[in-house]
Chain A
Amino acid sequence: MKCRKCGERASIELRRHNAAFCTPDFLEFFKKQVREAIRKHRMFTTGEPVLVAVSGGKDSLALWDVLIDEGYRTSGLYLDLGIFDYSLESKAKCERFAAARGVPLIVSTVAAEVGAPVPTIKEVTRRPPCSGCGLSKRYLMNRVALEHGFPVVATGHNLDDEAATLFGSVMHWQTDSLPRQSPALAATHPKLVRRVKPLYRLSERETAAFAFLRKIDYIVDECPFAKGATSIAHKEILNQMEEASPGAKHNFLFGFLEKARPAFERAEAVTLNECARCGQVTTGTLCAFCKLADQVKRAVR
């Protein structure tokens, strides 16, 4: 298989683009897709400080690598979830990445903020571990960004993540979730920072290939709690569809963003308040994070 641009031996085939690329041309293709995402959704400028949420995985470290390379002013945020050796290893990878490139890394610990690490939260709430984990991540990303003066948080969500989330929302017709599915969420309240996903145009396989070819040392092993997660099941289904019809994931997500999302956006009208306890944004009186922290503290007392 030959590179579409230069005719040299290809490293990767992208069936959805009916193309194959050698390593240098693939890396350039990748960066071009990130540039296009940032430009199209006006995610941030080179003058703004950007907080990049990093997990030690391929997506977030690939994103941070591109943004540093493109000259953006970035800092990393690692949220220590306290998931046994998995968290120790992923934290070490983020620290080494930051040290090698001379960029700052902020570390926030879920156990210190919620009262217990993710495995204990799972036991206390008796809900899927990804539930309390995701809630804590979203809350802490916003709060840390505000505290450190970052107007925007960038996450490593890729095309597969976004297509799987959309698939899950549509399967249950969660019409309240659909307007929030976007590559860029605006700051709709003074205490909310912008949330952007510069990798949304790139598939999971493409981000993995980029990380490998850039020799980024990322954590390959899966989070021990991800096994059996619904999002993984949805990704497997979508990959079967992609195999039968290259471009299926792209068409599903981009069709939604261009044609369907505006209709759901118009239908959404949510009143935002400040949490009576912590002052962060919520639709109720007490935010979900403070309720979770109360529940955990009662149980571990």
Chain B
Amino acid sequence: MKVVLRNPRREVEVAGGRRVKDVLAELKIVPESVLVICGDELVTADQVVRDDDVIELRPVMSGGSGEIARR
């Protein structure tokens, strides 16, 4: 199956026929740090993805200047 990663955008092939959480573990991605998107839906960690699926792991983290308000 194909996994689309972002920042920078790239694609990797991994084995399907297993749960999303197993795919994340193989790629060493903390589940809290991404949305798992298949088509136009979100999928949960227990869902099984097939060999012909394409999933996007969209990072949710942003940051930089959003520090505490200094007045």
Contacts and interface: CB of A to CB of B under 8 A. Distances in A.
Given A133-B64, A204-B62, A213 B6 contact: no
A231 B64 contact: yes
Interface string B17-36: 00000000000001111110
B37 interface: yes
For chain A, which range describes its interface: under 10, 10 to 19, 20 to 34, or 35 or more residues? 35 or more
A130 B65 contact: yes
A188 B71 CA distance: 10
Interface of A is mostly: helix
Contacts of A1: 44-47
A130 B67 CA distance: 9
Interface of B is mostly: loop
Given A138-B70, A239-B30, A13 B44 contact: yes
Interface of A: 1, 10-13, 20, 23, 57-59, 129-131, 133-135, 137-138, 155, 157, 160-161, 164-165, 168-169, 177, 180-181, 185, 188, 192, 195, 203-205, 207-209, 212-213, 220-223, 225-226, 229, 231-232, 235-236, 239-240, 242-243, 272, 281, 283, 288
Interface of B: 6-7, 30-35, 37, 41-47, 58-71
